[in-house]
Amino acid sequence: MLTIENLNKNFGGLQAVRNCSFEIKEGTITGLIGPNGAGKTTTFSMIAGELAPTSGRIVFEGKDIAGLPTHEMFHRGIVRTFQIPHEFAKMTVLENLMVVPPEQPGERLFANWISRGQVKRREREVRDRAEDALEFLSISHLGDEQAGNLSGGQKKLLELGRTMMTDAKLVLLDEPGAGVNPTLLLKIREMISRLREERDYTFCVIEHDMDLIASLCDPVIVLAEGTVLMQGHMTEVRSNPDVLDAYLGGGEEN
């Protein structure tokens, strides 16, 4: 589904990503791990369109998309979540989901005057989809709660819900387990697995919780100093001496 070829990103004199190459196969949950400063977040940002590569190719479904803006990536089916959720705090959980689908007729002023029936039908469709997402995630009881009042783990579930409101093909999850209590972490892991199995999502996951990566991801790609150190099953990763050395020498996150 996604091929990264010789990807590079420079910030002045700092090379955060260098000659990075790997593939993400359709239908997998691929882990992207590495010590602080390995270039994981920078790589994610280039795939999602938030940063343009200095050089290299990002090929998604056979087309080079390197340098396209975030809204273009979104329309092609690449969706990203963040380590710190970006919810609309003063809107309800249900409203947070309903604003996601693009090109809703109700967003156009004149459509509300001359195409009221179309606007209402589409709003009902979006609401039904949002309620389905809440039910799937077992958070229907939070639908009328302001999103800013949710716990950290509940906000991560809301992030997954927002991806369900799109026609996502590839979902980039940035530390879905960060700051989440163990009970909700199990729920998040279950939901990611179910979305892959039941709704054909493909995931790429950045995560520092190695137990979460081991239980979810195959393959696992290890980055170090901006490039791929190795790729394989988590059992191979954990036994690789180069990986252990890389983690002992980590610096700041990019």
Structural Rg of the chain based on CA atoms = 19
Q: What percent of the chain has pLDDT over 70?
A: 90
pLDDT digits (tens, 9 = 90+) for 166-207: 889 999 999 998 888 889 999 999 999 999 999 899 999 999
Q: Give Cα separations from 231 to 22, 44, 106, 161 (angstroms).
A: 9, 17, 46, 30
* Averaged pLDDT for residues 119-148: 91
Closest-CA residue to 253 (of 220, 203, 206, 204):
206
Q: Check pLDDT > 60 for residue 250.
A: no
Is the Cβ–Cβ distance between 63 and 1 less than 8 Å?
no
Where in the chain are the domains? 2-87+166-248, 89-149
Between 129 and 250, name the one with better pLDDT: 129
Give pLDDT, residue 221: 97
Instruction: State how beta strands 170-174 and 202-206 pair.
Output: parallel
Q: Share the mean pLDDT of the chain.
A: 89
Sheet of 14-24, strands arranged across: 14-24, 2-11, 55-60, 63-64
What is the pLDDT at residue 28? Answer: 97
Structure tokens at 197: 């199995």
Q: 117: pLDDT confidence band, cut at 50, 70 and 90?
A: low
pLDDT band at 251 (very low <50, low <70, confident <90, very high): very low
Whether the predicted pLDDT of 64 surpasses 90: yes
**2-87+166-248 to CATH, choices 3.40.630.40, 3.40.718.10, 3.40.50.10490, 3.40.50.300:** 3.40.50.300
Contact 118, 82 (CB under 8 A): no
Confidence at residue 82, expressed as pLDDT on a 0 to 100 scale: 81
* 115 burial type by CB count under 10 A (0-12 exposed, 13-18 middle, 19+ buried): middle
Of 114 and 20, which is predicted with more confidence?
A: 20
Question: What's the pLDDT at 121?
Answer: 78
pLDDT at 253 over 80: no
Task: Give the rounded percent of residues in the chain with a pLDDT score beyond 90.
Answer: 72
- Determine the pLDDT at residue 103: 67
- Mean pLDDT over 224-251 rounds to 86
**How many angstroms separate the most distant Cα atoms in the chain?**
67
Is 90 exceeded by the pLDDT of residue 90?
yes
For residue 73, pLDDT over 80 is answered with yes
